[in-house]
Amino acid sequence: MKLRRAIIKSHRSIDFLDIRLGPFTILFGKNNAGKTNLLEALFGVLAPNRMADPHIEISKRAVGIRAASNSDLTRRAGAAYFQLEDGVSLDDEIRVLRHECKAPESPDFPALPDGQVAFVSDQWGDDPGLMFVDPEPYFSWVSEMECGGYEFDIDAWIAKREHCVGFRVTGPNPKPVLLDWEFVDGEDRVAAELAKVCLSVQDPEGGFFVNPAAPIMWLEPLQTGDAIPAWRLNPVILERMQKFGQLATDLLPDFLDGSIAAKIRFPSQDWRVGPKIVLDFRDPRNPDNPEGLIEDYDLAEMWDDRVGHELFGYGRGTLRWISVAAQLALQIMTDCPSVSTMRDANQGSFARHVLLLDEPEAHLHPSAVGSIVRWCERMVSYGFNVVAATHHDEFLRASKRDATFVHVTRNPDKWTTNARTLLSAATPFLQDLAVEIGMHPASVLSLHRAILFVEGPLDVAVLDEFAGPALDAAGVTLMPIHGTRNLQGLVDSELTTRLGLKMGVLTDATDPATMGERSNSKRSGEEVKVGRLVKMFHERGLPPPKSFGVPEADLLFAMPAEAIRDVVIKGEFPGWNELVAECRQSGSKGPSDSVNWKAYALDRYGLDLTTVNGVRSVVHKLNFANVPLSSIQAVVGQIIEWANDSA
């Protein structure tokens, strides 16, 4: 199973996000943008029964997750999409379930492509449900209701939710692992969990469980034939301790030169004290470190006086990664008991696992951060999915073939978190985005090779949602001018030319290739205004802006009406020109009168083109449905070629 996409609904600063992910996903952005919120929300989708919520028993909560408010309990929801792999037994099991699933067909919930599956969490249950249809229509519908696009209808919401529930089936779920960084009592927690594994009965089909009626005991009797009974430490426990040490050592990042082991401390004098498992990091710089698995309490007190023996003697960064290796080793022993070493793991052993890391570079020397990036890539090669939230530019240098970059930002007006996935074509330029991780402003200037002026914020939303990463990679900044009537004001924008930045203008109903050959009477209004602007620049001795255009009367019209009808509205829609004509007719307006056809589209057809978020949502749905936006694609290609041209 390879992580592919996530929908997050109502978690802290997140209202609604629909983003593409990958087996190695890197979340980056400024402080307080919401990266940790996104990381925790993804964990909550995959394991809602382990969130730090008041109604969940403390012993079952995931350590390191912040407690949510009671209001969050009733609203948090989302979906995680995975691509199934060939030759993986778990994925084959899901394929069988898909074949056996008899869910009715529904136009509201289209079937996912073969080889894809979604895991959905919502108010209707604690365990994520498995779906072979796309649950996105439900979440986007609820989001639109809550954003005030319509009057919220509780009965319609319940009906929609129950309809969505009808597509859920029971099946194997992903295994999210939040590798928390707080090492307060970390050694004791790991040792306690290891003791549970060592004393638990192994399920023949995998996993461990505690059997109160017949637990594994620390000691087992020896048949010596003597009258005095003899006992020895249970070899099963010793075997599991050795296995833990092998796995944990395999999982250390390469900046740590040492090994992890576990020892039993037994009471040689006072048997009222029970045995205890302790962790030990064997540092080659400390050759006196004993190699045995068993320690006497009294001798251990003497050994603990040596420098470097106890874990608290190490630095915080080192301790965190010792803790990570130990936590993950315990998870593997519990979930995959047949795996003894990472090198011997079979393909698909870790297909269900999603590792979540928050600021993995914290408290590390800069030279060690590259080791952590390599560690993440190694985990992906083992079959894990890895999602890391980071501030460090070393992660932005990760292989563009393996990594998926998600830029997380905060909306200053609504105080909500936004996120978008950068295309692989953008990764060579990620260093130019270093402002998001605290580089000098001079580095930011190198990002902006060109400024493209567009008519308004809705045009910015279309281009940014459709091709924002590619435009970022080309160094293009989008600036709205709030109507072509303001075009002439650009002649005073000498700042761009003084900084050496290219200037371009994108307008509707414009054919730059032919408009210079036509008279004003045969040009559109936009073409006439662009022509005047170019003339004014020439008169001032300034380099004129580059003209770009789409043939449609409005950039929004470049979205195919058929796709608006079939993908976005899933209902009646007349077409763009017909929509404007209907709007004029409804208001008894003439052909030359200006009308608010965007408001009419919302009122009549539920198509929100009046807000930036509404337009983004429409373009987002078309992109996910792979609807070609030919005019937009063509002009974006021209803009990128112009921006990258060194002339």
The answer to which of 349-358, 387-396, 472-481 has the lowest mean pLDDT is 472-481
pLDDT above 90: percentage of residues in the chain: 28
Name the 3-class secondary structure at 389: strand
What is residue 182's predicted lDDT score, i.e. its pLDDT? Answer: 60
pLDDT tier at 429 (50, 70, 90 boundaries)?
very low
What is residue 2's predicted lDDT score, i.e. its pLDDT? Answer: 94
* Whether pLDDT at 205 is above 70: no
107 beta partners: none
* Whether pLDDT at 521 is above 60: yes
What is residue 515's predicted lDDT score, i.e. its pLDDT? Answer: 86
The answer to which of 114-118, 144-148, 273-277 has the lowest mean pLDDT is 144-148
What is residue 436's predicted lDDT score, i.e. its pLDDT? Answer: 46
Which residue in 491, 539, 535 sits closest to 516, CA to CA?
535
pLDDT tier at 215 (50, 70, 90 boundaries)?
low
Backbone φ, ψ for residue 363 (5° rounding): 65, 25
49-101 tens-digit pLDDT: 877 666 666 666 777 777 765 544 445 689 999 999 988 888 999 999 988 88
d(C-alpha 132, C-alpha 103), whole Å: 9
Written as six digits, the tokens of 613 are 């978020």
The answer to which of 147-151, 415-419, 452-456, 534-538 has the lowest mean pLDDT is 147-151
pLDDT above 70: percentage of residues in the chain: 77
* DSSP assignment string, 150-210: S---HHHHHHHHHHHHTT-B-----EEEE-----TTHHHHHHHHHHHHHTSEEPTTS-EE-
39-52 tens-digit pLDDT: 999 998 998 887 76
What is residue 647's predicted lDDT score, i.e. its pLDDT? Answer: 55
More confident site: 19 or 197: 19
Cα torsion angle, 38, 42, 45, 48, sign: negative
Sequence-separated (6 or more) residues with CB below 8 Å from residue 507: 455, 484, 526, 527, 529, 530, 547, 548, 549
* Whether pLDDT at 304 is above 50: no
d(C-alpha 436, C-alpha 625), whole Å: 30
d(C-alpha 645, C-alpha 647), whole Å: 5
| Mean of per-residue pLDDT scores for the chain | 79
What is residue 432's predicted lDDT score, i.e. its pLDDT? Answer: 44
Helix-helix angle 186-198:316-335, to 10 degrees: 20
* Whether pLDDT at 172 is above 80: yes
* Whether pLDDT at 573 is above 50: yes
What is residue 130's predicted lDDT score, i.e. its pLDDT? Answer: 92
490-500 tens-digit pLDDT: 555 544 454 45
* Whether pLDDT at 456 is above 50: yes
What residue type is assigned to position 325 of the chain? A
More confident site: 157 or 258: 258
> In this structure, how many other beta carbons lie within 10 angstroms of the beta carbon of residue 469?
19
Backbone φ, ψ for residue 349 (5° rounding): -60, -35
Which residue in 601, 644, 635 sits closest to 463, CA to CA?
635
pLDDT tier at 425 (50, 70, 90 boundaries)?
very low
Which residue in 237, 253, 263 sits closest to 323, CA to CA?
253
The answer to which of 277-291, 471-485, 577-591 has the lowest mean pLDDT is 277-291
For the entire predicted model, the pTM comes to 0.69
Please answer whether residues 323 and 191 qualify as being in contact, where contact means their C-beta atoms are separated by less than 8 angstroms.
no
Residue 573, Cβ density class (10 Å: 0-12 exposed, 13-18 middle, ≥19 buried): buried
Rounded to 10 degrees, the C-alpha dihedral 217/223/227/228 comes to -40
pLDDT tier at 310 (50, 70, 90 boundaries)?
low
More confident site: 487 or 344: 344
pLDDT tier at 401 (50, 70, 90 boundaries)?
low
Phi-psi region of 233 (alpha: psi -120 to 50; beta: other; left: phi over 0): beta
d(C-alpha 536, C-alpha 588), whole Å: 39
Written as six digits, the tokens of 502 are 């290219």
Q: Tokens 């603990």 belong to which residue?
A: 304
158-170 tens-digit pLDDT: 888 888 888 888 8
Residue 483, Cβ density class (10 Å: 0-12 exposed, 13-18 middle, ≥19 buried): exposed
The answer to which of 357-361, 377-381, 398-402, 575-579 has the lowest mean pLDDT is 398-402
Written as six digits, the tokens of 288 are 């006196």
* Whether pLDDT at 434 is above 80: no
Phi-psi region of 133 (alpha: psi -120 to 50; beta: other; left: phi over 0): beta
* DSSP assignment string, 2-69: EEEEEEEEEETTEEEEEEE--SEEEEE-STTSSHHHHHHHHHHHH-GGGSS-TTS-GGGSPTTPPPPP
d(C-alpha 237, C-alpha 291), whole Å: 17
What is residue 559's predicted lDDT score, i.e. its pLDDT? Answer: 95
Name the 3-class secondary structure at 280: strand
Which residue in 432, 377, 433, 371 sits closest to 400, CA to CA?
377
Averaged over 641-646, what is the pLDDT? 82
What is residue 576's predicted lDDT score, i.e. its pLDDT? Answer: 95
Q: How far is CA 18 from the centre of its chain?
A: 9
